[in-house]
Chains A and B, each alone.
Chain A
Amino acid sequence: MALRARQKIRAPRRGLTVTKTDDFETNWKDLSSSLKKIHTKDASNLSFEQLYRNSYNIVLMMRGEELYEQITLLEREWLEEEVQKRVTAAISPSLLLATHVDVQDQANERREAGERFLAVLKEAWEDHQLCMGMITDVLMYMDRVMSTDHRKPSIYVVVMALFRDHVLRSPIRPDTQTTVYDVLESTVLFMIQLERSGHIIDRALIRHCIYMLEGLYETITEEESSKLYLTVFEPAFLEASRKFYQAEGRRLLETGDAATFCKSATERLSEETERCIDTLSSLTEAKIKDVLDNELIKNNIAEVVKLEGTGARNMLDNDRIDNLRSVYVLSARVDSKKTPLTTAVQRRIVEMGKEINASAIAAAAPSSAGKKPEAGEKKPSEKEKPVNQQTVAAIKWVDDILGLKQKFDNIWQNAFHGDQVMQSAITSSFSEFINLSQGAADSRSSEYLSLFFDENLKKGIKGKTDSEVDTLLDNGITLLRYIKDKDMFEAYYKKHLSRRLLMKRSVSMDAERQMISKMKMEVGNQFTQRLEAMFKDMTISEDLTSSYKEHVRQSSDPDQKRVELDINVLTSTMWPMEIMSNVRSEDVQLSCIFPKEIESVKQSFEQFYLGKHNGRKLSWQASMGTADIRATFQRSNGKTQRHELNVSTYAMIILLLFNDIPAGESLTYTEIQAQTRIPDHDLIRNLQSLAVAPKTRVLKKDPMSKDVKPTDKFFFNHDFQSPFMKVRIGVVSGSANKVENQDQRKETEKKMSEERGASIEAAIVRIMKQRKTLIHSQLMNEVLTQLSARFVPDVNMIKKRIESLIDREYLERVEEDPPTYGYVA
């Protein structure tokens, strides 16, 4: 029973008992001879099963370790005896020369020798891989046992390491330190050197040798980072490349052409990428690019950008978009700020901006010297001719800047890939030169810009489509963005706007409103508040006029010959008062004397208006008004010619004087002045336009001259000729479209600084009310930030305002160190 039971589970059939020791020898003999056959490529008749069984048996005998050792030994011998000899035999002396070979013949010879050597090495490696693959297959069982039970590396790893040590790292001759690997390295580097200088090499061959280095590891655990390629070859390659590109950078700089530099650098980059893919390993791609970035680009880009005649400046001037793009791409590789390029671009923008400024000033100069006063007077209504050269200069200035902006936008878009850093650099340079001119006494960008709008809104947009108008306004707004002192612009704009509104010079109210809303979007609500109020006044006045007309119709006799009245009631705080009256020095000036017809209308309206709005005060601005009068000219031949004249209010008053005197009589300047009390300034100009301007000589002047003297006599000119029924007689002062002269500007600036002072004080008080106490520097900062949207306040001015507020006991000094202020409630 016991016997049978034992039989139920048998011991495995063989291999368990340790009796068959001699079997190791026979098995190993079979195995080793077969392995040798594998090496000599005589394996096709070998049986996998047979070899597997041999190794399996040995392992089952518990002698796997011995087998492992034997295999290692066998392979080592094979590599040392056969492979290594074959490889070293292929090394010809020319390969051992120094890396740089100048003579062409030698280079060729070396290259051929190198290719021979690489081919032999490659073959040895591939054979080794193949054989080891087969051997590992056969030893599969051993491998598994050894790796699980004994924690030994796979036999494949071991034989690969053997190849590394006994082939690659063996000296090429017993008496030298130079190893096969050294030769391999120098040969491959030499080949790459050849390729860099334009020769064609056998890339695939090198690639295979690199595969070998990638397949071999420093350690037995085969970490990714211990590949021979990474530990030995790559550093050498990078070092060689570094040297090469240092030299290359110098060489390219010496040629002195920025475009060429960029072109070659770009080519080198793609060349190296290609090399990494085709010849070396993609692992190196990032690293070699680093080398290129550092050695070729970073070290040289600044100089390239600066290169005289071919650098960034030249490219910008000639719109070399392609070249700029490559400069940009290269710069972007090494520096996210692209410092050299941005500096160059900025400098160039400022330079070009300054040129524009200078040319604007130059264009304006001659006119302001002499021509100006007459220009407006002579041809006030001729729009096709430049009214004023300065105005034209202003508009040209804006156009030029827009052109410049266009140019750089284009470059930014196409060459700089819409880069953020570049954009802000460009913006800041524009703003720099635009405001640079602002600071200097000669510049007036705010005014120019406002003039630009004025000009366009008055005539420029005639016949343009909506979208064109839109673009035009947008362009202007873009410039507005650059202007720091927006309050200045506002002041000018207001002035120009008021003239357009009052004199009905605007082409399209839609465009005006559009403009306002654009500004609102760009600068903010506060900025456009007053402008909008002006529009509001205009609409209210329209209603007022019609309701007044209604009132007149109902209250008085319809048949009475009344003067019709169109009235604009303006809120004095919203409108720029200085342009409406010549109240400059003499504050209390008597208003002019209106003829009685007019006076009655005036009184009637005042009654009507004050009846509606209690407590308001109306002050009449005769200088801003116009009148339509019908004039009858008695020709000498007895005929009567009627003309409807559109004249300024003052001119109307003057002309009405002639109604009261007999025909042929004259009035002197002094008489007119006495009877009307029109301010000298306005009177002269009105008389000039009535008597001097060639096409509108409703009056005759004696003596006939340009200047008006107090003794001059004026006659009604019955021989007035005009091809038109309606004649418009402009006044010099009506030409709003004009750059201010020095005095006017001083005036504006004075006003401006007063206004700014008020804004600053308001800001200070606002801040202090909120903070109660604040250190001086913090207060400064807050004020500056609060006001920066409108203008850049002068620090001294802020200090003065603080002092003044302290004097007026809004603030008090709380502490001296650091200086701190407190709010006095």
Chain B
Amino acid sequence: MTAEPKVLRKDQLEVSLHNEKKLIKEGTIKDDNPLDLSEPFRELCNACRKGDLKVCQEKITEGVNINARDPYDYTPLILASLCGHYEVVQLLLESGALCERDTFQGERCLYNALNDRIRNLLLEYDYSKSTDPLQPLAAHITSLLTRETPRTSDIVVTAADESLHLHKFILAARSPYFHSKLEPAPETSTWRLPNTTPPEAFGTAIKYLYFGEAPRDLRSGPGTGFTESEVFAGIDKIAKHLEINTLVDSILDSGDRRLARQRRTMEVAKGRDQLEQWFQANVLKHKVTVETSKADEVKWDRDNAIFADVLLQADELPEDVEAEQADGTDSGTLDGRVPMSTLFPCHRAMLLRSEFFQTMFASPFREAHMKDHLNVINLDCSPDVLEIVLTFLYTERADFPLDVAVDVLFASDMLFIEKLKTKAAIVISTLGSGNMSQAEAARTRGTKEEDDLDIYAIIRAAWLTRVQRLEEFAARYLAYRLEAHIDSPEFAELIQESASRIQSRQETDSIELLDDIRFYLGERFRLRFDDAGIEEMMEDATQPAAGVEANGDVEKVTEGVETMQLSTESSLPVQAASKGAEQAVIRTLDGEIVVDEFDQDALNYQILMDKLDRILENLNLDA
């Protein structure tokens, strides 16, 4: 963000707002931000005010419209940026919240942003990423029309003298006509449409079925042999024939940009729903569970009713079956249960969205050979994870609970599905933050809270799958709960591991994890110091020797702030926190008595920093 972005003047904005309202009233365009008075939306708004990541994520997963507005015309995005919750703003934007320049609501977000960091984030999204979240799926399916290798098409559809290589499952999912024709005869490999169809109309219809954008203008007139009205009539006819009734509307709408965009969003969403419906009704319905040893004997004919051309196998693992057996990592099969596997009939055309499958099907290895019976490909993940992966590939949906998130993370990493990986990371870093927001967690100085995720496993997973976001999340998580972890041997081990990662990289001499933790620790305590507006206090505090004296100096100054804080916050966490802090003081410093909570924070910070240093010493590391 180097150049200062151009901002519309207020009167210009009001004009555009007025025009927009008029159009909405007339019904020409849809309101981007409809009024929503429902309870879930109210909860979402509250979460955005408070910066409660977890609730936000939950509400978004529930399907609350994140672009709606409340009775005061606030959208969740405006609230989050106004209240300065960077992570929430990021989550909302990633989930498709609109912040479009030159719209009233979009400009409000920008004006209201609490700080430049959030403002820049908003601008960045507006310029590069505020596209339809379904666009990648649509683009992939459209690309199937032209993709040469590996060959995935299984039907040739001909109209007049133009032939296209298409995919039965897409045709069946998108067109009721093809659905009814192909289902009884899955072995069909060619199809003829009436010869009178103009090629342009045929092409347009097929492209539409493949999620393509409606053409701006139809190719007609001299040279094509058809007049515009003929082509149009042809489209109308073929649309009726294939029972895709919205095609004509979308071509009619393609003139106006905004209208076309809204129409397209709707169309893609509808197409996704059709595909999802079909996926549920066919792929998932036809999954079979067999004993692992017999999985290879499953024979699916190439001409199956759901047009699958490959079988994916996922083995159930002992620990999945025996969820209650906590430490059963190596002896799961001892109790005599037969290991089971699930087979999913799939379409390679969709699997190609993963680089893993793309490489596999393009290689000369066994999986790429076409045989009479479908190849069975074993995948190294559990059936439910595979189902999530497949759902994502077919429908772009990635809603899964926290408890499989790490598995999804690993699977998507293995299969090179970046978006799903990001999604898994988001799920972990939002839902995993516990029952309270980060801000609240910050105030729970040292409470031994319920720890519902294995942060050490997460951080290792983050390292293995190279997800920066997750590393940061874990560091932050640890920093905000450092009192609970700092003395455990596991923590020391983790630091050691982080250090060894760095050694092999030979890049810097610092330990990344430790740096991150220090950074977030600073953030955690700085919250208070910053409120008081005394920067130098922080600088002093980072130097262990000077820290304590400095505390005394600022005491008086900060008292006013102190009372303000106390009055605004609910008293419960504060009390709990102070209790924890006192314990820490008593454990570490000899007879030092803290006067108030502020002092206590400073001391705590000191103590924690010292402890980190000590760990380093013990581990013989330089940092």
Chain A residues engaging chain B, CB cutoff 8 angstroms: 1-3, 5-13, 15-16, 43-53, 56, 60, 65, 133-134, 137-138, 140-141, 144-145, 148-150
Contact = CB atoms under 8 A, between A and B. Distances in A.
Interface of B: 317, 319, 323, 326, 355-356, 359-360, 362-369, 377-380, 382, 402-403, 405-407, 409-410, 414, 416, 428, 432, 450-454, 457-458, 460-461, 464, 466, 504-505
B452 A9 contact: yes
Contacts of B460: 11, 16
Nearest to B409: A12
Nearest to B359: A137
A572 to B, nearest CB: 74
B402 A49 contact: no
B452 A13 contact: no
Contacts of A46: 365-366
Given A1-B450, A10-B454, 9 more contacts: A5-B451, A10-B403, A16-B461, A48-B359, A48-B365, A52-B356, A56-B380, A138-B365, A150-B505
A49 B451 CA distance: 37
Contact of B317 (A11, A13, A49, A51): A13
Contact of B416 (A13, A43, A140): A140
B414 A12 contact: no
Nearest to B413: A141
A361 B255 CA distance: 83
Given A46-B366, A53-B380, A137-B363, A9 B414 contact: no
A779 to B, nearest CB: 59
Given A49-B379, A140-B359, A10 B407 contact: yes
Contacts of A65: 504
B466 A148 contact: yes
Contacts of A8: 402-403, 452-453
B160 to A, nearest CB: 40
Contacts of A6: 451-454
B319 A13 contact: yes
A43 B364 contact: yes
A9 B453 contact: yes
16 contacts: A8-B453, A9-B454, A10-B319, A10-B454, A10-B457, A11-B461, A12-B407, A12-B464, A50-B378, A51-B365, A52-B356, A52-B360, A133-B363, A134-B363, A140-B356, A148-B466
B379 to A, nearest CB: 7
B508 to A, nearest CB: 13
Contacts of A149: 466, 505
B360 A16 contact: no
A52 B323 CA distance: 29
Contact of A49 (B323, B377, B410): B377
A27 to B, nearest CB: 12
Contacts of A5: 450-453
Nearest to A145: B466
A9 B504 contact: no
B432 A141 contact: no
A118 B363 CA distance: 28
Counting chain B CB atoms within 10 Å of each CB, the highest count among A3, A46, A52, A133 belongs to A52
A11 B454 contact: yes
A13 B402 CA distance: 15
A149 to B, nearest CB: 7
Contacts of B458: 9
Given A9-B402, A134-B365, A16 B380 contact: no
Contacts of A48: 359-360, 363, 365-368
Contact of B432 (A9, A43, A49, A60): A9
A16 B464 contact: yes
A2 B451 contact: yes
A141 B452 CA distance: 31
Shortest 7 CB-CB contacts between residues of A and residues of B: A11-B457, A48-B365, A9-B453, A5-B452, A48-B360, A137-B359, A137-B363
B477 to A, nearest CB: 12
A308 B416 CA distance: 75
A506 B410 CA distance: 106
A11 B410 CA distance: 11
B406 A9 contact: yes
Nearest to B507: A151
A5 to B, nearest CB: 4
A16 B465 CA distance: 11
Contacts of B380: 53, 56
Nearest to B366: A47
Nearest to A60: B464
Contacts of B505: 149-150
Given A16-B457, A53-B380, A134 B450 contact: no
B451 A7 contact: no
Nearest to A4: B452
Contacts of A145: 466
A6 B457 CA distance: 11
A12 B452 contact: no
Contacts of A50: 378
Contacts of B454: 6, 9-11
A47 B364 CA distance: 10
A52 B461 CA distance: 19
A12 B406 contact: yes
Nearest to A47: B366
Contacts of A138: 363, 365
Counting chain B CB atoms within 10 Å of each CB, the highest count among A8, A44, A144, A149 belongs to A8
Nearest to A1: B450
B326 A12 contact: no
Given A3-B326, A48-B363, A10 B406 contact: yes
A13 B332 CA distance: 12
A47 B457 contact: no
A44 B367 contact: no
B406 A49 contact: no
Contacts of A13: 317, 319, 382, 407
Given A1-B450, A9-B453, A47-B365, A140 B355 contact: yes
Counting chain B CB atoms within 10 Å of each CB, the highest count among A12, A50, A138 belongs to A12
Contacts of A148: 466
Given A2-B451, A140-B355, A145-B466, A9 B457 contact: yes
A45 B466 contact: no
A9 B410 CA distance: 13
Contact of A44 (B323, B369, B378, B428): B369
Contacts of B355: 140
Contacts of B403: 7-10
A12 B319 contact: no
Contacts of B369: 44
A44 to B, nearest CB: 7
A2 B453 contact: no
A246 to B, nearest CB: 49
B327 to A, nearest CB: 10
A33 to B, nearest CB: 15
A738 B168 CA distance: 100
A65 B503 CA distance: 14
Nearest to B457: A11
Counting chain B CB atoms within 10 Å of each CB, the highest count among A16, A49, A52, A141 belongs to A49
